[in-house]
Amino acid sequence: MNTIPSLNLQDFVSGNSAQQHQFIVALGRAFEEIGFVAISGHYLSEALIDELYAQIKAFFDLPEDIKKKYEIEGLGGQRGYTSFGKEHAKGKKEADLKEFWHFGQYAEVPAILKPHYPPNVQVEELSAFNEVGEKVFKALEKTAMALLRAISLHLGLEQHYFDGFVATGNSILRPIHYPPIQQAPKNAERAAAHGDINLITLLMGAHGRGLQVRNRKGDWIDAIAGPNELMVNVGDMLSRHTNNVLKSTIHRVVNPPKEMWGTSRYSIPFFMHPIATMPLDVLPHCINDQQPKQYDDISAGDFLRERLIDLGLLKA
Dist. CA 166–CA 314, nearest whole Å: 23
* Residue that wins the pLDDT comparison between 23 and 84: 23
- Around 34, how many Cα atoms within 13 Å sit in the side-chain half-sphere? 25
Which amino acid, residue 91? Answer: G
Using CA atoms, how far residue 261 sits from 222, 283, 286, in Å, is: 19, 45, 45
Q: How confident is the model at residue 242 (pLDDT cuts 50, 70, 90)?
A: very high
| DSSP sequence for the chain | --S--EEETHHHHTS-HHHHHHHHHHHHHHHHHTSEEEEES-S--HHHHHHHHHHHHHHHTS-HHHHHTT--TTSTTSSEEE-TT----TT--SPPS-EEEEB---S---GGGGGG-PPPPP-SS-TTHHHHHHHHHHHHHHHHHHHHHHHHHHTTS-TTTTHHHHTT---EE--EEEPPP-S--SS--SEEEE--SSSEEEEE--SSTTEEEE-TTS-EEE----TT-EEEEE-HHHHHHTTTSS----EEEPPPPGGGTTS-EEEEEEEE---TT-B-PPPGGG--SSS---S---BHHHHHHHHHHHTTSS--
Domains of the chain: 6-310 (2.60.120.330)
Amino acid 90: pLDDT: 67
Longest pairwise C-alpha distance within the chain: 58
Within 10 A of 263 (CB to CB), how many other CB atoms are there? 11
Q: How confident is the model at residue 206 (pLDDT cuts 50, 70, 90)?
A: low
Backbone angles phi, psi at 111, to 5 degrees: -55, -35
Q: How confident is the model at residue 1 (pLDDT cuts 50, 70, 90)?
A: low
Q: How many residues does the chain have?
A: 316
Measured distance between the N- and C-terminal CA atoms of the chain, rounded to whole angstroms: 39
CB 44, CB 143: distance < 8 Å: yes
CB 210, CB 176: distance < 8 Å: no
Q: What's the whole-number average pLDDT of the chain?
A: 89
Amino acid 96: pLDDT: 75
Amino acid 85: pLDDT: 75
Task: Tell me the pLDDT tens digit for each residue of 128-183.
Answer: 999 999 999 999 999 999 999 999 999 999 999 999 999 999 999 999 998 887 77
CB 39, CB 147: distance < 8 Å: yes
Which amino acid, residue 210? Answer: G
Task: Tell me the pLDDT tens digit for each residue of 265-293.
Answer: 888 999 999 998 999 999 999 999 888 99
Question: What's the pTM value of the predicted model, to 2 decimals?
Answer: 0.90
Dist. CA 284–CA 245, nearest whole Å: 12
